[in-house]
């Protein structure tokens, strides 16, 4: 079945440095790739998404890149801040509303002072 | 607009009991999905309801069931609880008209089975 692999499972970076989280997906028909951030005690919240007709998307310190040929996509956070500490989930889905979204297992990001 | 709400927020049960969790989606959203979150396993999809019908189902045993009401509110039920059912149960709502919609998650119900 469809699968999304996410790496690393844990990531520690110095405040101000960049963080990169990578995901690969198995379903070549996937064309929507959202990223969610889950803070302690809360449910995941969408932070950025990308569709298959776009190779890169940026929103302030956050950017996502997509390589459809290789079936992988990445989240880049620059100039990391303490409030970036959280668990991040990547996901993949198709356009069809009857297809479920598949999540990666998450990356716990620690921003070190 | 009010967000997704889940009740109760915390629950302690013993093995063999059953439990019902409730989720109220964002107004206007017709799709409600349920996930089980455990350390190391990420978000495991349970099922999705749309217009009172189950539209998708994950790989969980029949002890896990759900339903959706005409106002889009949803409940999930777990019967004959096992220790391994201890987890954070999240629900997420969306409009339900395509696979490229943002899912809005509630804060979750943390279930502890003793």
Q: What are the residues whose beta carbons fall under 8 Å from the beta carbon of B79, sequence distance 6 or more?
A: B18, B63, B65
Question: So what's the pLDDT on residue A100?
Answer: 78
pLDDT band at B2 (very low <50, low <70, confident <90, very high): confident
Q: What are the residues whose beta carbons fall under 8 Å from the beta carbon of B78, sequence distance 6 or more?
A: B18, B19, B21, B63, B64, B65, B85, B111
Question: So what's the pLDDT on residue A20?
Answer: 98
DSSP character for A43?
-
Yes or no, beta carbons of B98 and A97 under 8 Å apart:
yes
Q: Which two tokens stand for residue A72?
A: 């992988």
> Residue A54 above 70 pLDDT?
yes
Helix (H, G, I), strand (E, B) or coil at B84: helix
On chain B, the residues whose CB falls within 8 A of the CB of A105 are: 40-42
The CA distance from B18 to B34, in Å, is 17
- Paired strand residues for A86: A109
How many residues in total does chain B contain?
114
> Residue B38 above 80 pLDDT?
yes
Query: Chain B residues with CB-CB distance to A under 8 A?
Result: 4, 31, 33, 35, 40-43, 45, 48, 50, 55-56, 58, 90, 92, 96-100, 102-108
On chain B, the residues whose CB falls within 8 A of the CB of A41 are: 107
Q: Does any CB of chain B come closer than 8 Å to the CB of residue A98?
A: yes
B52-103 pLDDT tens trace: 999 889 999 999 999 999 999 999 999 999 999 999 999 999 988 776 788 9
DSSP character for A93?
B
> Residue B33 above 90 pLDDT?
yes
A10-29 pLDDT tens trace: 999 999 999 999 999 999 98
Yes or no, beta carbons of B4 and A43 under 8 Å apart:
yes
The CA distance from A42 to A37, in Å, is 9
Nearest to B97 among A49, A97, A99 (CB): A97
């Amino acid at each position: 079945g469809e699968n999304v692999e996410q790496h690393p499972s844990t990531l520690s970076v110095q405040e101000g440095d960049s963080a990169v989280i990578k995901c690969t997906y198995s379903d070549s028909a996937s064309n929507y790739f959202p990223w969610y951030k889950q803070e302690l005690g809360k449910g995941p919240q969408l932070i950025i998404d990308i569709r298959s007709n776009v190779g890169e998307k940026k929103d302030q310190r956050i950017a996502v890149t997509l390589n459809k040929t290789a079936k992988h996509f990445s989240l880049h956070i620059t100039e990391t801040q303490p409030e970036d500490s959280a668990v991040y989930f990547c996901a993949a889905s198709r356009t069809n509303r009857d297809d479920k979204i598949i999540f990666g297992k998450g990356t716990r990001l620690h921003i070190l002072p | 607009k009010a967000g997704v709400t889940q009740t109760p927020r915390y629950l302690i049960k013993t093995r063999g009991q059953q439990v019902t969790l409730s989720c109220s989606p964002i107004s206007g959203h017709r799709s409600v999905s349920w996930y089980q979150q455990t350390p190391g396993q990420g978000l495991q999809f349970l099922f999705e309801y749309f217009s009172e019908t189950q539209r998708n189902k994950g790989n969980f045993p029949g002890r896990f069931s759900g339903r959706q009401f005409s106002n889009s509110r949803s409940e999930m039920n777990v019967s004959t609880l096992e220790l391994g059912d201890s987890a954070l149960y999240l629900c997420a709502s969306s409009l339900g008209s395509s696979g490229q919609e943002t899912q809005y998650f509630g804060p979750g119900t943390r279930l502890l089975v003793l």
